[in-house]
C-alpha cells in the first residue's frame, strides 16, 4: 500500500516505505526498505543552516537506524535516473553554513541517527577508534579516555560529527604537529552516489578514500571511520601570551611551531581590546595570575595573542607549572629567543584546550544570522600584515590564525591549500551587533575576499562557498580535473550534496 505523509512514519525491519507521487517531483512507487523512519512534516530543522541565512525545506528527512537505510535510499534515487530532480544531502549536528547540508525538495539524511557502538582497538603503536560518522567528537573523546587514549587531531569545537569534519578537513591548533583530522584516518566506510557501500583505505579503494576526505560530501556519505589515537594527557597547562607588535607575534608563533617537543597546541588570536567576552583578553585571567596581566596597558589597542597548551602527567606538575624556571616558561623563552610582552594563565586544565570556545558558545545564539569567512593565507609576512591591517582597521573585529605545515597535509585528498610550504589559516569571526544587519556583514565579507584577490594574496577559502562552477574551478585550480573525474566515477548523476552548488543534477559533470 502507499503510506500517507504523516508527521512521523515508523518503519520496522519487516516493512517498507513506498514513496508516493503526491509531491511536485515525479516519483515512482518503488519500495525503499529501511529500519529507521522518514518524516515529511516538522522538518524545518533540516531546512535551516547554522548561520540562519538560507532556508530550503527538503521533501523528506531520513532518520536511519542502519547503514543499509542510507544505501537503500540513495540507490533508489540512483535508479530513478535523470528523469527525477531528486537529490540527497547528509546532515550532521547542523553546523553547515550557507545551505551546504540542504537538499531543496530532496531527501536530507539525519546522520546523528546513526550513532552507535564505538570500538577502541589497541594495536601496537597505532591504536584507533572505529566510530560511526554521526557520532559527536566530544563523545568519541569520552569513549577513548576510558582506554587512556584520545584522537590526535581535533577541531576547535567538539560538538560536531565525525563525518561532517572529515568531509571538510578538521583543523585546530594541533594541526601544525599532527595535520588536520583527514590526515589521521585509517579507514572509511562510504556510500557512493550509486548506493554502493564501499570500505576504503590507503591500501583498498584508495582513490575513493582520498577523494571523500575533504571532499565536501560530493563522492559519498561517510558512515564509519577508523581514527588514529595517541595516549591521552593526564593534565593540560593552558597559556596565553599577549603582544602589541605583529612582527614579534608572527615570529614567535613560527619559532614555537618549528621547535621540537615544545607545545601540543598553538593558535594565534588578534583582537581589538575592549569590553566584552570575545574581545576582552583580561577575561581569560584570574586575580592570582602574574602581574604582567594587570600591568599590560592595552585599552582600545589591537592585540596579538598566542594560545598554547602543554600536556603533562600529574607527577610533573611542579616542574611544569611552578616558578620562573618551569618547563612552560623555559620552552616559551627558548623558542621565542627574546623577551616579549607576556601574560600567562598558569592554572592547569584537565584535557580541556577548548575552554574558551565553550564559554563563547554558552553566550551565543546558534540561530542568530552570522556570516563567516576562513582564508588560508601565504606565509609572507608583509601580505599577512597587509591583510590584518585592512581587516582590523576596516571592521575592528576578531580573527585568529594558525601557522600550518604543508608537509602535514596529504595532497591526494580533495582539500586544497595555498601553493606554499608553510601557510596560515586566517579565520575572521564577526558577530553581528544590533546596529548591523546581515547584508552589511555579507558586504564586509565580500570586501575582504575582493581585497585578497586584488592584492594577489593567493588565498584558498576553508569551508568554501561559491555560486558558480566557474568559481569552483578556480578554487580547485589544477586539481579540478581529478575532482570532476571522481564525481563522474562515484556520483555521476550528481545526487549527493547539492547544497554545495558544485555540480547540478542533469548537467554534465566534466
| Closest by CA position to 410, among listed 254, 216, 226, 202 | 202
Contact 165, 185 (CB under 8 A): no
Nearest-angstrom CA–CA distance, 124 and 161: 27
For residues 385 and 402, is the Cβ–Cβ distance under 8 A?
no
d(CA 101, CA 56) in angstroms, rounded, equals 10
**Four-CA torsion 97, 101, 102, 108, nearest 10 degrees:** -150
d(CA 136, CA 268): 26
CA distance 64 to 78: 18
Nearest to 431 by CA among 368, 354, 387, 374: 368
Torsions phi, psi for 108 (to 5 deg)? -100, 130
DSSP string, 75-112: HHHHHHGGG----EEEE-SS---TTTT--TTSEEEEGG
- Beta-bridge partner residues of 150: 230
Contact 344, 290 (CB under 8 A): yes
- For helices 246-258 and 327-336, what crossing angle results, to 10°? 110
Of the chain, the end-to-end C-alpha distance in Å amounts to 41
Q: Is 157 exposed, middle or buried (0-12, 13-18, 19+ CB in 10 A)?
A: middle
77 close to 488: Cβ distance less than 8 angstroms:
no
Concatenating the DSSP letter of every residue in 249-277 gives: HHHHHHHHHHSSSS-SEEEEEEEE--SST
**How many CA atoms within 13 Å lie on the side-chain side of 350?**
4
Catalytic positions are 95, 156, 267
3-class secondary structure per residue, 329-392: HHHHHHHHCCCCCCCCCCCEECCCCCHHHHHHHHCCCCCCCCCCEEEEEECCHHHHHHHHHHHH
Q: For residue 178, give Cα distances in angstroms to 25, 136, 174.
A: 47, 20, 6
Amino acid at each position: 500500500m502507499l503510506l500517507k505523509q504523516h508527521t512521523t512514519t515508523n518503519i520496522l525491519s519487516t516493512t517498507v516505505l513506498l514513496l508516493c507521487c503526491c509531491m511536485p517531483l515525479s516519483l515512482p512507487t518503488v519500495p525503499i526498505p529501511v529500519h529507521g523512519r522518514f518524516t515529511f512534516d516538522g522538518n524545518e530543522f533540516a531546512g535551516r543552516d547554522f548561520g540562519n541565512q538560507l532556508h530550503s525545506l527538503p521533501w523528506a528527512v531520513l532518520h536511519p537506524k542502519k547503514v543499509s537505510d542510507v544505501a537503500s535510499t540513495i540507490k533508489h534515487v540512483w535508479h530513478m535516473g535523470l528523469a527525477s530532480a531528486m537529490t540527497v544531502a547528509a546532515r550532521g549536528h547542523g553546523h553547515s553554513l550557507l545551505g551546504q547540508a540542504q537538499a531543496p525538495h530532496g531527501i536530507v539524511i539525519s546522520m546523528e541517527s546513526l550513532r552507535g557502538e564505538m570500538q577502541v582497538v589497541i594495536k601496537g603503536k597505532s591504536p584507533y577508534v572505529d566510530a560511526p560518522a554521526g557520532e559527536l567528537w566530544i563523545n568519541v573523546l569520552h569513549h577513548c579516555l576510558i582506554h587512556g587514549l584520545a584522537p590526535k587531531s581535533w577541531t576547535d569545537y567538539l560538538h560536531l560529527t565525525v563525518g561532517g569534519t572529515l568531509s571538510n578537513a578538521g583543523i585546530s591548533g594541533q594541526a601544525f604537529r599532527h595535520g588536520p583530522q583527514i590526515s589521521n584516518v585509517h579507514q572509511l566506510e562510504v556510500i557512493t552516489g550509486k548506493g554502493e557501500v564501499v570500505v576504503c583505505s590507503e591500501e583498498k579503494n584508495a582513490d575513493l578514500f582520498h577523494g571523500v576526505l575533504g571532499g565536501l560530501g560530493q563522492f559519498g556519505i561517510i558512515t564509519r571511520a577508523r581514527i588514529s589515537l595517541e595516549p591521552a594527557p593526564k593534565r593540560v597547562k593552558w597559556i596565553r601570551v599577549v603582544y602589541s607588535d605583529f612582527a614579534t607575534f608572527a615570529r614567535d608563533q613560527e619559532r614555537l611551531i618549528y621547535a621540537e617537543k615544545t607545545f601540543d597546541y598553538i593558535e594565534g588570536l588578534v583582537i581589538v581590546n575592549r569590553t566584552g567576552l570575545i574581545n576582552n583578553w583580561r577575561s581569560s585571567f584570574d586575580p592570582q595570575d602574574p602581574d604582567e596581566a594587570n600591568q599590560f596597558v592595552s585599552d582600545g589597542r589591537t592585540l596579538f595573542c598566542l594560545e598554547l597548551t602543554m600536556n603533562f602527567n600529574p607527577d610533573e606538575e611542579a616542574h611544569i607549572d611552578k616558578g620562573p624556571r618551569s618547563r612552560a616558561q623555559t620552552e616559551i623563552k627558548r623558542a621565542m629567543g627574546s623577551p616579549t610582552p607576556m601574560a600567562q594563565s598558569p592554572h592547569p586544565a584537565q584535557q580541556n584546550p577548548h575552554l574558551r570556545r565553550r564559554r563563547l558558545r554558552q553566550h551565543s545564539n546558534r540561530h542568530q544570522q552570522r556570516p563567516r569567512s576562513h582564508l588560508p593565507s601565504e606565509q609572507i609576512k608583509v601580505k599577512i600584515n597587509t591583510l590584518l591591517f585592512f581587516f582590523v582597521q576596516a571592521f575592528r573585529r576578531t580573527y585568529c590564525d594558525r601557522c600550518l605545515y604543508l608537509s602535514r597535509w596529504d595532497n591526494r585528498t580533495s582539500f586544497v591549500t595555498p601553493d606554499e610550504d608553510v601557510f596560515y589559516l586566517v579565520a575572521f569571526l564577526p558577530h553581528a551587533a544590533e546596529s548591523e544587519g546581515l547584508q552589511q556583514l555579507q558586504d564586509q565579507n565580500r570586501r575582504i575576499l575582493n581585497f585578497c584577490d586584488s592584492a594577489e594574496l593567493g588565498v584558498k577559502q576553508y569551508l568554501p562557498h561559491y555560486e558558480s562552477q566557474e568559481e569552483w574551478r578556480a578554487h580547485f585550480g589544477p586539481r579540478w580535473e581529478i575532482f570532476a573525474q571522481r564525481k563522474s566515477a562515484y556520483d555521476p548523476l550528481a545526487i549527493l550534496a547539492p547544497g554545495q552548488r558544485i555540480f547540478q543534477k542533469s548537467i554534465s559533470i566534466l
